[in-house]
Amino acid sequence: MTRGGGGGVDSLDLERYRRALEATRQEQLARLKTLRGEGLGDAAQEAARELSSYDQHPADQGTETFEREKDTGFEAAARGILEQIDEALGRMEAGLYGICAACGEPIDPARLDALPYALRCAPCEAAVEERRRRVVEAAAAPPSFMRGFGAGVDRVAFDGEETWEDLARYGTANTLQDVPEDPEWEGEEKG
């Protein structure tokens, strides 16, 4: 028997996936509890078990900061998985479990076996990840020298070409730089 819109997940499989989702939920809740128990909810000084935030060894503070950031990342990942589980359970109640939220095609059962809270088929998820990666890369990329610093903005800017023209007035590898300005010199013009 197929559920909702030809999703291809029969009632026996649906119950198996529900149990898998609930088991994964419990794992993530236990992970959050462990992280909180290990001091993630405490102040950094208390989590490091230090009486003072002043430390004789700066490397120790760096290690503590790294560990705290790592635990914060684990917490964010666990919360994200819990949100995906809730969404998958909601789709299950709506009869949409096993159907890609992006394209409406059935999600491969092997994908659901591996990742029961998957909301998209593998190709659609790959497209989402590619867009996310490009956004991160674009945010991290420095502005191009030739594009100028005000690209896309309606304003007059001092761009790369104008910079070169301004610098070339002082000489290039093709001009005599060490000759004093002599109005009678009939050599190559500067600039």
The closest alpha carbon to 13, from 137, 126, 91, 113, belongs to 113
**Predicted TM-score of the model (pTM):** 0.60
129: helix, strand or coil: helix
Q: Architecture of 11-140 per CATH? A: Up-down Bundle (1.20)
Model pLDDT for residues 114-129, shown as the tens digit of each residue: 999 999 999 999 999 9
Q: So what's the pLDDT on residue 91?
A: 94
Q: Which of 14-23, 59-68, 138-147 has the highest average model confidence (pLDDT)?
A: 14-23
Confidence of residue 4 (pLDDT cuts 50, 70, 90): very low
DSSP 8-class letter at 117: T
Q: How far apart are CA 120 and CA 102, in angstroms?
A: 6
Secondary structure (DSSP) of 30-48:
HHHHHHIIIIITS-HHHHT
Q: How far apart are CA 143 and CA 147, in angstroms?
A: 7
Model pLDDT for residues 47-94, shown as the tens digit of each residue: 555 656 565 667 777 888 888 899 899 999 999 999 999 999 999 999
Tell me the domain boundaries of the chain.
Answer: 11-140, 143-191
Q: So what's the pLDDT on residue 147?
A: 55
DSSP 8-class letter at 3: -
DSSP 8-class letter at 171: -
